[in-house]
Amino acid sequence: MEKAYIFGHKNPDTDSILSAMVLEAIEKTMGESNIKAYRLGAINKETQYVLNFFGINAPELLERVPEGAEVMLVDHNSFNQSADGIEKAKIIRVIDHHRISNFETNEPLFYLSMPVGSTSTVLKGICESSGITIDKTTAGLMLSAIISDTLLLKSPTTTTRDKEAAEELAKIAELNIKEYGTNMLKAGTDLSDFTAEDLINIDSKLFEQNGIKYQIAQVNTVAIDDVLKNKSEIENAILNYINNNSLDLFVFMITDIIENNSKIIALGRQDIIEKALNVKLEENTAFLPGVVSRKKQIIPSINSVI
Ligand code: MG
Ligand code: MG
Ligand code: MG
């Protein structure tokens, strides 16, 4: 096989980075040597905490997929969120846990997607069914990805499978889930040195439904009001982003990972978000008690309104 590229989505989160690395390890265990994990953007602080904890380097940055190259996608399928050049690549595998949209291939492929909390939970299942022994570091990486995506197994995206996988992986990694996970999530909430432009790009995804283009960005915090101190700068950054990218709507979600609530700032087609979430925006914001999951608690409602 020619060299194959493995990567998660743009604006990579912890699951996208670590699942790419874990899939590289799995493929190598199964005898595939000419294969490498990449990242499609900067490493966030939460992911950096994990890499430092296990003493490993971040994957190399991939600017563009070479034409005709073999690629394996983790943690996404939508071309909107994938590498530049993806349309002309040969997708040979997808390991994911998202709905399928804006995705098409010319040839058959190995596609495994499950409605679970993180891509690493799917990868854990592959290890089991293939009889692959998971080493201590790989277990730690998979556990970190699960903790990140499920906000310590509390997000509504969390399934029994995620909980069981996390427990088994924590045993192998010799880690206390709550203690390690709290430290990891907190490391990701230090937003002090980010500009408003940075904030709306840390974890930002583009969606398209019936010709309506919308972006949802999310940051985790332990103090929503601290983030809102820069509300007018954030709003300006969002308006610029909407103009530069011809978006219909931008939703910026500030999620309190301790209390499990979110506040949103929404600009553009506010009517869509008001109808979708059954809220009235005040000064472009709304408080959403118990809402932490973009995937499960926001996107389906927006899509059905559109
Ligand atoms: Mg992700
Ligand atoms: Mg994920
Ligand atoms: Mg996420």
- Cα 151 to middle of ligand 3, angstroms: 9
- Cα 16 to middle of ligand 3, angstroms: 9
Same domain, yes or no: 171 and 213: no
Distance CA 180, CA 232 (A): 35
- Cα 187 to middle of ligand 3, angstroms: 15
Backbone phi, psi, residue 126, to 5°: -65, -40
Same domain, yes or no: 205 and 148: no
- Cα 38 to middle of ligand 3, angstroms: 18
Same domain, yes or no: 105 and 130: yes
Same domain, yes or no: 206 and 264: yes
Residue 209: pLDDT over 60: yes
Mean pLDDT of 64-91: 97
Q: Residue 224: pLDDT band by 50, 70, 90 thresholds? A: very high
- Cα 121 to middle of ligand 2, angstroms: 9
Residue 223: pLDDT over 80: yes
pLDDT recorded at residue 193: 87
- Cα 117 to middle of ligand 2, angstroms: 7
Mean pLDDT of 96-103: 95
pLDDT recorded at residue 2: 60
Whole-model pTM: value is: 0.92
- Cα 15 to middle of ligand 2, angstroms: 5
Which secondary structure element, helix H or strand E, spans residue 25, and what is its range? helix 14-29
Residue 177: pLDDT over 80: yes
- Cα 104 to middle of ligand 3, angstroms: 23
- Cα 129 to middle of ligand 3, angstroms: 26
- The CA-atom distances, in angstroms, between 121 and each of 126, 177, 249 are 9, 15, 32
Same domain, yes or no: 66 and 181: yes
Residue 165: pLDDT over 90: yes
Residues that place a CB less than 5 A from ion ligand 3: 13
Same domain, yes or no: 68 and 128: yes
pLDDT recorded at residue 126: 97
Of 128, 152, 186, the domain-final residue: 186
- Cα 8 to middle of ligand 1, angstroms: 7
Distance CA 211, CA 184 (A): 38
The number of helix segments (H) and strand segments (E) in the chain equals 12, 11
- Cα 238 to middle of ligand 1, angstroms: 21
Same domain, yes or no: 123 and 28: yes
Distance CA 191, CA 145 (A): 20
Same domain, yes or no: 179 and 201: no
Of 120, 153, 186, the domain-final residue: 186
Residue 101: pLDDT over 70: yes
- Burial pattern 87-122, b for ≥16 Cβ within 10 A else e, equals eebbbbbbbbbbeeeebeeeeeeebeeeebbbbbbb
Residues that place a CB less than 5 A from ion ligand 1: 13, 15-16, 75
Residue 263 lies in a domain: yes
Ligand minimally distant from the alpha carbon of residue 19: 2
Same domain, yes or no: 144 and 9: yes
pLDDT averaged over the chain? Answer: 96
- Cα 222 to middle of ligand 2, angstroms: 21
Residues 6 or more apart whose Cβ sits within 8 Å of residue 295:
98, 157
Same domain, yes or no: 243 and 148: no
User: If you ran DSSP here, which 8-state letter would residue 132 be given?
Assistant: P
Mean pLDDT of 284-293: 97
Residue 298: pLDDT over 60: yes
Q: Of the candidates 117, 106, 78, which has an alpha carbon nearest to the alpha carbon of residue 94?
A: 78
- Cα 255 to middle of ligand 1, angstroms: 16
Cβ distance 50 to 141 under 8 Å? yes
Same domain, yes or no: 253 and 165: no
Q: Of the candidates 175, 208, 185, 162, which has an alpha carbon nearest to the alpha carbon of residue 13?
A: 185
Residue 191 lies in a domain: no
- Cα 196 to middle of ligand 3, angstroms: 20
Residue 1: pLDDT over 70: no
Distance CA 24, CA 93 (A): 12
Q: Of the candidates 293, 8, 5, which has an alpha carbon nearest to the alpha carbon of residue 162?
A: 293
Same domain, yes or no: 271 and 140: no
Of 168, 186, 204, the domain-final residue: 186
Q: Residue 24: pLDDT band by 50, 70, 90 thresholds? A: very high
In the chain, the percentage of residues whose pLDDT exceeds 70 is 99
Residue 202 lies in a domain: yes
| CATH number assigned to the domain comprising residue 249 | 3.10.310.20
State whether the Cα torsion 181-182-185-188 is positive or negative: negative
pLDDT recorded at residue 192: 85
Backbone phi, psi, residue 185, to 5°: -65, -40
Name the domain count of the chain.
2
pLDDT recorded at residue 48: 98
Residue 162 lies in a domain: yes
| CATH number assigned to the domain comprising residue 165 | 3.90.1640.10
Residues that place a CB less than 5 A from ion ligand 2: 15, 75, 118-119, 149
Ligand minimally distant from the alpha carbon of residue 9: 1
pLDDT per residue over 231-276, tens digit each? 999 999 999 999 999 999 999 999 999 899 999 999 999 999 999 9
3-class secondary structure, 143 = helix
- Cα 70 to middle of ligand 1, angstroms: 21
- Cα 76 to middle of ligand 1, angstroms: 7
pLDDT recorded at residue 60: 97
Ligand minimally distant from the alpha carbon of residue 98: 2
Which residue carries 């530069």 as its tokens? 244
Residue range of the domain that includes 214: 196-305
